[in-house]
Amino acid sequence: MRIVFMGTPDFAVPVLDALVDAGHDVVAAYSQPPRAAGRRGKALTPSPVQQRAEALGIEVRTPLSFRKEPGAVDAFAALEADVAVVAAYGLILPQAVLDAPRLGCLNVHGSLLPRWRGAAPIQRAILAGDTETGVGIMQMEAGLDTGPVRLEERVSIRPHDTAGALSHRLSLLGATLMTRVIGDLPAYPAYAQSEEGVTYASKVDKAEARLDWSIGAAQVDRQIRAFNPSPGAWFEYRGERIRIHTAAMLSASPTNYSTDFPTEPGLVLDDQLAIGCGNGAIRPIDVQRAGRGVMTSLDLLRGFPIPPGTRL
């Protein structure tokens, strides 16, 4: 089948690989333009999809916008694709693009629609404490993830899943499901989404990544897992941001930490960096100072003491 692929982050790469491995003719790959990267933000880095597509010898196109860039829609239509496969592309597709391929556009979406329509379904599912999610292959239409679904499969959210780990599992599953659908489209007729249970997964704002110690330890743990690897949950001490990559929840029990202090939100409870929350406490396991590599919390404390009794 003649396919145009449209995707940007790591989540999309297994889908592209699966289409190529299945023998489809991927005539072009669309991705968001290279972005500034590095500590000084000067080097332009191509997206993971662009890098993979170029390695596979596939032409890559990176329009800033189909609506604003002259000729972008016509250039897309000129590819005369049978279908466009979309996976976390990140740009809105106008109706003319949706209609251009002979069989329309199929999207790999990382949730069980209609729950978590939108930009950040994986992070929102973890933040909400969902115990399961999944992947759907959706026939795209103009609405925000409102199109009919051709195939979906459920996945359990494990207690220690980070957004990165869950995203990887879902991307591999999405690749499998997409190749199955593309391989026999009539066998997977589209069915309308339910009108009940609609929720929206808004884009993650970096401000959300600042840890709120007033909430319960379970919700703090969800923040840490949902924002790993990006944008990274953090707290501030001595004017410096400390990111927490992983942490353990501690119940309000003296057997979990030795302290002379009451378990209050944001209070450091012992010399191993147990931190009080609105209910219970957490103990960071892997942390990172600005401009440094990831280290254990004990290694952090050796060079950057945060004594018991400190309020964060």
Half-sphere exposure of 101 (CA within 13 A, CB side): 25
Out of 201, 220, 252, pick the residue that ends a domain. Answer: 201
The CATH code of the domain that includes 234 is: 3.10.25.10
Is residue 65 left, alpha or beta, with left meaning phi > 0 and alpha meaning psi from -120 to 50? Answer: beta
pLDDT in tens, 179-230: 999 999 999 999 999 999 999 999 999 999 999 999 999 999 999 999 999 9
Residue 185 and residue 224 in one domain? no
Domain boundary among 183, 201, 219: 201
Burial readout 150-182 (b: 16 or more C-beta within 10 A, e: otherwise): bbbeebebeeebbbbebbebbbbbbbebbbbbb
Task: State the Cα–Cα distance between residues 136 and 129, nearest whole angstrom.
Answer: 20
Q: What's the pLDDT score for residue 43?
A: 82
Does any domain span residue 56?
Answer: yes
Residue 285 lies in a domain: yes
Is residue 311 one of the residues assigned to a domain? no
Q: Are residues 177 and 71 in the same domain?
A: yes
Q: Does 177 share its domain with 216?
A: no
Q: Domain check: are 20 and 129 in the same one?
A: yes
pLDDT over 90 at 251, yes or no: no
Do 292 and 192 share a domain, yes or no? no
Contact 105, 79 (CB under 8 A): no
Pair 47, 176 in one domain: yes
- Indicate whether 85 and 227 sit together in one domain: no
Q: Do 86 and 214 belong to one domain?
A: no
For the entire predicted model, the pTM comes to 0.93
Can you give the pLDDT at residue 37?
73
Number of domains in the chain: 2
Instruction: For residues 218 and 174, state if they share a domain.
Output: no
Residue 189 is assigned to a structural domain of this protein: yes
In terms of domains, do 16 and 111 share one? yes
Question: In this structure, what CATH number is given to the domain that contains residue 41?
Answer: 3.40.50.170
88 and 237 fall within a common domain: no
Q: Tell me the per-residue pLDDT of 79-135, one tens digit each, with 9 for 90 and over.
A: 999 999 999 999 999 999 999 999 999 999 999 999 999 999 999 999 999 999 999
308 falls within a domain? no
Question: What is the average pLDDT across 138-144?
Answer: 95
Residue-range definition of the domain harbouring residue 284: 207-303
In a domain, 312, yes or no: no
C-alpha torsion sign, points 291, 293, 298, 303: negative
pLDDT higher than threshold 70 for residue 7: yes
H/E segment holding residue 55: helix 48-55
- pLDDT tens-place string over residues 47-88: 999 999 999 999 999 999 999 888 999 999 999 999 999 999
128 near 211, Cβ under 8 Å?
no
Q: Is residue 309 part of a domain?
A: no
Position 310 in a domain? no
pLDDT at 163 over 60: yes
Domain boundary among 176, 201, 226: 201
Please tell me whether residues 264 and 117 are part of one structural domain: no
